[in-house]
Amino acid sequence: MVGTQNRTILLQDLGTKDYKETWDFQEEVFARVVAQKKLKRDNPEMDTDNYFFFVEHPHVYTLGKSGDVSNLLLSEKQLEEKGATFYKINRGGDITYHGPGQIVGYPILDLENFFTDIHKYLRLLEETMIMVLADYGLKGMRSEGETGVWLDVGTPFARKICAMGVRASRWVTMHGFALNVNADLGYFDNIIPCGIRGKGVTSLHVELGREVDEDEVRQKIVKYFAELFEAKLIW
């Protein structure tokens, strides 16, 4: 690549934030980075920015652009009764759930600052989570053809602990991952998660039999993400 590469990533914890509000915010930041890239063509010494947002959403179901709406098993009235919302969105993947007790991460990166390979990007996101889980004595695994991180792949007890779905355009990423830490797994009963039948979903607190410190998990995510992407993450 001609010009400079900025491997500094600006970190921000958005706290608890409505899904649509966060999506709109992501789109604004995404558009800003894409605009920087256009300017960089004529000014190769310019840097483009990278961001990483942590957030927790109120109960919400989101359906990716290639997803099947029949994987949502609730009517509008039932959604309302459960205090949940539903959105069709522009990431890859099928349907998933976000809610309290789940750590959601949205990296908005100019991959030309790192590498131009979406497959590698997804694998490094998965590897970050696998390293975090290892710190808690759990063996996170990949499941062939199914993006995300699982436990006990290849057994009747395979269950997903981290879902992923991203969008990338002009090598700029958005959306990201959702790691179940202290999540209420009952909400997953209302969907066919990621459109995959016959496989379960789990959460870190279920696997460990105790509530987990979410700040500690965020710190571990930041540490391993920085290592794998050879980046500097700053608050």
Predicted local distance difference test score (pLDDT) of residue 197: 66
Q: Which of 29-43, 51-65, 121-135, 189-203 has the lowest average pLDDT? A: 189-203
Residue 3's pLDDT band (cuts 50, 70, 90): low
Q: In angstroms, rounded to a whole number, what is the distance separating the alpha carbons of residues 72 and 78?
A: 11
Predicted local distance difference test score (pLDDT) of residue 65: 86
Positions marked catalytic: 194
Tokens of 63: 């359906």
In b/e form, how buried is each residue of 163-187, taking b as 16+ CB within 10 angstroms? bbbbbbeebbbbbbbbbbbbbebeb
The tens digit of pLDDT for each residue in 38-78 reads: 999 999 999 999 999 999 999 999 998 888 999 999 999 99
Give the other-Cβ count within 10 Å of 195's Cβ.
18
Residue 1's pLDDT band (cuts 50, 70, 90): very low
Mean pLDDT (the chain) is: 94
Average pLDDT (9-32) is: 97
Question: Residue 200 annotated as binding?
Answer: no
Q: In angstroms, rounded to a whole number, what is the distance separating the alpha carbons of residues 185 and 225?
A: 26
For the CA atoms of 202, 208, 211, 215, the dihedral, rounded to the nearest 10 degrees, stands at -90
Residue 94's pLDDT band (cuts 50, 70, 90): confident
Question: Residue 148 annotated as binding?
Answer: no
CB 107 within 8 A of CB 173: yes
Cα distances (angstroms) measured from residue 65 to each of 13, 46, 71, 93, 179: 27, 33, 13, 7, 21
Q: In angstroms, rounded to a whole number, what is the distance separating the alpha carbons of residues 52 and 229?
A: 12
Predicted local distance difference test score (pLDDT) of residue 198: 62
- Candidate CATH numbers 3.30.930.10, 1.10.357.10, 3.30.1360.170, 3.40.50.150; the one for domain 8-234: 3.30.930.10
Q: From edge to edge, which strands make up the β-sheet containing 85-88?
A: 85-88, 60-63, 95-98
Residue 2's pLDDT band (cuts 50, 70, 90): very low
Would you say residue 196 has pLDDT above 80?
no
Question: Residue 22 annotated as binding?
Answer: no
Question: Residue 137 annotated as binding?
Answer: no
Predicted local distance difference test score (pLDDT) of residue 4: 76
Q: Could you tell me the residue ranges of all domains in the chain?
A: 8-234
